[in-house]
Structure 1
Amino acid sequence: MEYHTMKLLVAAIPLLAGAWICFPQQAHSQTVFQLTVKDHHFEPDHITVPAGERFMIELNNQDTTTDEFESYDMKFEKIVVPQGTIKVHAGPLHPGTYTFFDDYHPDEAKGTVTAEEKK
């Protein structure tokens, strides 16, 4: 290895270590909400989450067709194959009610998320 390349690598080590210290993994774990889509319906079709906090929705597709888990309100869309499971990160949300649906079966598979202030 050339002298200049080695010098650059040695100089970069403290910078990389500093970046790891300054940008640690998320300090607290996200709450995970389990949903299932079966017969083109979500079970449950409503969840309540804490306002102002990030959370994760884990969706298991028990349909025999591919579904597209989508929410305009929460700004996500993700394909889930038959018998597959996906995870979607969402929030933090202001207090209120937000909709989600299966874009391939929007009249059947739909649900809501309500974000509530902690009491």
Structure 2
Amino acid sequence: MRVPKHLLLTAAGLLLAASAAQAQELPTFRLEMKNGRFEPTEIVVPANTRFKLVLHNAGPEAEEFESLELKKEKVLAPGATSFLVFVPLKPGSYRFFGDFHPDTAQGHIVAR
């Protein structure tokens, strides 16, 4: 049995809308990068809960968010905003840093 193309497209659209709605419902936290520093340097998130981290580079140069422990990294151009979605974290502290300014761009995500 062949499914009409318009029904397949409708189903695909509904799946995308459901995924977007789920992403919007996630607890959301914000991190600003500027002049080789992060603000805030500590982000407290709920343990065992997926969450979204919105990254904004307010500085004049590219900057990177990187966490080896969390296996996440993202480079942002000056003025750019993006986000990362994290799997539920066990309680603890997880280090992140800016690869372009590793001495000053440092912080922690604390799951409680």
| Same-fold status (TM-score > 0.5) | yes
Q: 2:87 & 2:99 partners in 1: Cα distance? A: 20
1:80-95 alignment to 2 at 5 Å?
80-95=76-91
Please tell me whether residue 96 in structure 1 is matched to residue 71 in structure 2.
no
1:36-55 alignment to 2 at 5 Å?
36-55=32-51
Conserved in 1, the CA contact under 8 Å of 2:36 and 2:100?
A: no
Q: For each residue in 1:42-84, what CA deviation from the matched residue of structure 2 results, as whole angstroms up to 9, or x when unmatched?
A: 1110011010001111111111111111111111111100011
Please tell me whether residue 105 in structure 1 is matched to residue 101 in structure 2.
yes
Aligned length: 103
Opposite residue 100 of structure 1, the aligned amino acid is: F
The structure that has the greater radius of gyration is 1
Q: 1:87 & 1:27 partners in 2: Cα distance? A: 11
Opposite residue 48 of structure 1, the aligned amino acid is: V
Percent identical among aligned pairs is 39
Q: Report deviation, 1:90.
A: 1.0
Opposite residue 26 of structure 2, the aligned amino acid is: Q
Q: Which runs of 5+ in 1 are unaligned?
A: 1-6
Q: Which runs of 5+ in 2 are unaligned?
A: none
CA RMSD of aligned residues (A): 2.2
TM-score normalised by the chain length of structure 1: 0.76
Match of 1:29 in 2: 25
